[in-house]
Amino acid sequence: MIRCRPTLPKGKQQFMLATRIASSLGMALVTLTTLATPSRAQTAATDPGQTRYERLPGLDQRLIDTSADPCADFFQYACGNFPKLYPIPRDRSAFGTGTLVAEYTAHVLEGLLEKAAGGGPGRTPNEQKIGDFYAACMDQDTINRKGLQPLQPDLDRIAALKSKDQLPELLAYFQLIGVNAFLGFGEQQDFKDARKQIAVLGQGGLGLPERDYYFRKGEVPEKTRAQYVQHIANMLKLIGEPEAKAAADAQAIMKLETALAQVSLDITSRRDPKKVYHLMAVSELVTLSPAFGWDRFLGASGAPPVSELNVSEPEFVKGLSRLLASTDLDTIQAYFRWQLVAAVPGYALPKALDGEAFDFFGRKLRGQPEQRARWKRCADATDNALGEAVGQVYIAQEFSGAEKQATVQMVDDIEAAMNRDLDTLDWMSAETKTRAKAKLHLVADKIGYPDHWRDYSKLTIVRDDAYGNVMRATEFESRRQLAKIGKPVDRGEWDMSPSTVDAYYNPSMNDINFPAAILQTPFYDPHASDAENYGHGGAIVGHELTHGFDDEGRQFDGNGNLADWWTPEDGRKFDQKADCEVKEYGNFVAVDDVKVNGKLTLGENTADNGGLRLSYMAFLADAQRKGIDLTQKQDGYTPIQQFFLGYGQDWCGATRPEQLRLQVQTDPHSPRKFRVNGAVQNMPEFGQAFGCKSGQPMTPVNACRVW
Ligand SMILES: [Zn+2]
């Protein structure tokens, strides 16, 4: 998921290789107005202002563009009418199937948060926290009246810096409150021994979305950089710098960040676990990077004493040492002011700062015309800060045992399909197959919500302090993560809240995770046919499972350890097959002259392709078990056609060009159109189901197949 301004410590986000199903499904929400009620869609709730929150059915005939040829462009066929029915609202940079679900879920959250906010003295401790966090966020008047006052103690800490010798303690403090100036520090499972939890130190400190933003040539990237420098200057002015100093500081900060970017590892390389794993003694770190007091940094970091850690990008740490030695204190202080104000979520800042941040990161970078409604931002923020407290109320109200049971059945079917798929592979040796099956049998299925809820009792949430609340919540989460170092791994832990419309696989845990909010229609619709549900939700289950066996996941064994269990010959064959997808997707043009990055998206594309095939196999087994007649049409489509339409309609929607460019350059997920067409064109069964001729766009003669 892309978050231009993360509100939770980057520690976990940055250092985990977990792969999600979606890029930005649950990120932002939208208001729907005057839409006709679809025949099978349910209108779930009504706002006083006539806002409607719709739920799509498993297969939505309204979305199908029957004038399109499914063999030429299946995305257009399955989803062609979606943007006409649901145009991208002004408060979104993209809008699709998942956004509708996220929108509905936000509306549910709003109801329970409003209730908790108004609940009075009888509230449970968790209701007090989520209610007051939400209320403080909604209270714009108090936030505006306080102005810069809440930031002042942190600005004072920066101003008090008298020499570079004092940097370690300040940087350690910044890490705790989510300011990733100069570096990132956190906790991870040891890649080579997943039973161990260790400290990790890595690159950080950039304000633009990714290191290549500092170097790409061409009109758009150069304009973005100029706008970025102007944005830094505007923010510095808004926190009190005189205009000329703000302009000069912005230039110096850009120079400093560019130098940091120069020694940063690119986003594609960072997907390779071997390239971001360098376990070393603290003494080795000190030798590598002598210009910084690492012992003092670690001592102040909130982590227990450590003798070794993963220095994920040693070249960066080396470069950082040189850069700290050569940069003057005045520039470093200006950089800290900028990094601080950029790290605070906009809703907790006074209006002018919030608006300026949105203008650059929302309007210019993503092409989003307007901010989202306050309540939507606050519902999201509360879930970010207190996800498992919100989750308990959400689960009690929204999630039934029936949804869980149906998902358990689907997951079992799809894991059985993978077992059969492995048997049929002609390119893999018996030896590697045995090991692949061993890994498959160790995959842990986590469905809905955690068995044990997180304890927030030590986190203080105050009703009139939006800034303090988010900073304390961030520090609470940082300390919770760091406290894991040296302790046994809790395999029951979740990295997503139950109300997140998303799913993930974590290679160190070897688990697949489906939060309750993704187990709702249309991804799982109790009224839909099995074909529709396997196409929708089944493909998502298959996607996460396949992540355990994509170019990244396959490097980890069933216990979550980075250990090569492949014969060299099978490893070479895997790479050849994966390379077919790298080239195939790398030729898709996303926007203007910007093509999909075939290497960056390889893991997600492999998961989409594998997930679709596994779910297809599971559906066929299900149909046989239940005696479903595969030739019998319903609403004009055979069950197999319904299956593929269900899959296609997972990804309906449209994306603004600015957002599409950002996505292609920063997100390991392919744009929605290629998630559909790329996957079906690699499956001959699709062409057969729709009567396509060989050589048509969706039935190429040289289709790719990994799994
Ligand atoms: Zn994925």
Per-residue model confidence as pLDDT tens digits over 525-563: 999 999 999 999 999 999 999 999 999 999 999 999 999
Q: Where are the beta strands (DSSP E) in 379-465?
A: 444-448
Of the candidates 686, 701, 586, 704, which has an alpha carbon nearest to the alpha carbon of residue 73? 686
166-170, 183-187, 591-595, 682-686: least confidently modelled range: 591-595
Cα(706)–Cα(547) distance, rounded to whole angstroms? 12
* 8 Å CB contact between 12 and 89: no
Which residue among the candidates 550, 608, 622, 667 is catalytic per the annotation? 608
Say how many Å lie between the CA of residue 423 and the centre of ligand 1: 24
- Which member of 380, 544, 552, 557 is catalytic? 544
pLDDT(427) > 70: yes
Q: Report how far ligand 1's centroid is from the alpha carbon of 682 (Å).
A: 18
Answer for the pair 379, 134: CB distance below 8 angstroms, yes or no.
yes
At 141-152, the pLDDT tens digits run 999 999 999 999
Q: What is the DSSP string of 633-645?
A: -BTTB-HHHHHHH
- 503, 608 in Cβ contact below 8 A? no
Cα 442 to Cα 558: distance, rounded to the nearest angstrom: 6
Collapse the DSSP code of 307 into the 3-class scheme (helix H, G, I; strand E, B; otherwise coil) and give the result: coil
Please compute, for residue 221, the number of CA atoms within 13 A of its CA located in the half-sphere on the CB side.
Answer: 14
Measured CA to CA in angstroms, residue 158 lies from 122, 155, 233, 557 at distances of 42, 5, 18, 45
DSSP-derived 3-state class of residue 28: coil
Task: Check if 544 is active-site.
Answer: yes
| Residue bearing the bigger pLDDT, 34 or 119 | 119
Query: What is the DSSP secondary-structure string of 579-610?
Result: HHHHHHHHT-EEETTEEP-TTTTHHHHHHHHH
Q: What angle do CA 341, 345, 347 make, to 5 degrees?
A: 115
Ligand 1 midpoint to CA 604 (Å): 5
Tell me, in angstroms, the distance from the centre of ligand 1 to residue 607's CA: 6
CA 669 to ligand 1 center in whole angstroms:
7
Give the three-class secondary structure for 309. Answer: strand
Query: What's the CA-to-centroid distance between 605 and ligand 1, angstroms?
Result: 8
pLDDT > 50? residue 49: no
* Count of residues making up the chain: 707
Strands 308-311 and 193-203: parallel
Structural Rg of the chain based on CA atoms: 25
- Tell me: pLDDT of 43 over 90: no
CA 438 / ligand 1 centre spacing (Å): 22
Instruction: Kindly report the three-state secondary structure assignment for every residue of 655-675.
Output: ECHHHHHHHHHHCCCCCHHHH
Q: How far from each other are the two terminal CA atoms of the chain, in whole angstroms?
A: 25
Amino acid in position 163: S
Residue 23 has pLDDT above 80, yes or no: no
Percent of the chain with pLDDT over 90: 90
Residue 35 has a pLDDT of 26
Ligand 1 centroid distance, CA of 278 (Å)? 25
Contact 264, 313 (CB under 8 A): yes
pLDDT, tens only, 623-640: 999 999 999 999 999 999
Query: What are 581-623's pLDDT values in tens digits?
Result: 999 999 999 998 899 999 999 999 999 999 999 999 999 999 9
String of b and e for 602-623 (b: at least 16 CB within 10 Å)? bbbbbbbbbbbbbbbbbbbbbb
Cα-flanking dihedrals φ and ψ of residue 693, to 5°? -95, 150
SS3 117: helix
Alpha carbon distance 197, 362 (integer Å): 36
Q: Could you tell me the maximum CA-CA distance found in the chain, to the nearest angstrom?
A: 78
Q: Is the confidence at residue 44, as pLDDT, over 90? A: no
581 labelled catalytic = no
Among 7-11, 141-145, 656-660, name the one with the lowest average pLDDT.
7-11
| pLDDT tens track for 479-533 | 999 999 999 999 999 999 999 999 999 999 999 999 999 999 999 999 999 999 9
Distance CA 622, CA 645 (A): 18
Predicted pLDDT at 176: 98
Whether the predicted pLDDT of 22 surpasses 90: no
As a whole number, the mean pLDDT across the chain is 93
C-alpha–C-alpha distance, residues 215 and 200, integer Å: 27
Q: Ligand 1 center to residue 381 CA distance, Å?
A: 24
Residue 193 has a pLDDT of 97
Could you tell me the pTM of the whole model? 0.93
Full DSSP string of 148-206: TGGGHHHHHHHHT--SGGGHHHHHHHHHHTT--SSEEEEEEEETTEEEEEEEEEEE---
Distance 20 CA to ligand 1 centre (A): 4
In contact, 129 and 386? CB cutoff 8 Å = yes
Q: What is the pLDDT confidence band of residue 352, given thresholds at 50, 70 and 90?
A: very high
Nearest-angstrom CA–CA distance, 187 and 25: 26
Query: What are the residues facing 512 on neighbouring strands?
Result: 445, 505
Q: How do residues 402-422 score in pLDDT, each as one tens digit?
A: 888 999 999 999 999 999 999
β-pairing verdict for 511-515 and 444-448: parallel
pLDDT of residue 52: 52
Would you say residue 96 has pLDDT above 90? Answer: yes
d(CA 381, CA 387): 9
Instruction: List the one residue out of 29, 360, 88, 221 whose CA is nearest residue 661.
Output: 221
State how far the Cα of 531 lies from the Cα of 620, in Å rounded to an integer. 9
Question: pLDDT tens across 207-257, in order?
Answer: 999 999 999 999 999 999 999 999 999 999 999 999 999 999 999 999 999
Structure tokens at 58: 């498993």
CA of 229 to the centre of ligand 1 (A): 34
Give the pLDDT band of residue 13 (cuts 50, 70, 90): low
Give distance in angstroms: CA of 594 to centre of ligand 1. 22
Residue 14 pLDDT exceeds 70: no
Output the CA 250–ligand 1 centroid distance in Å. Answer: 37
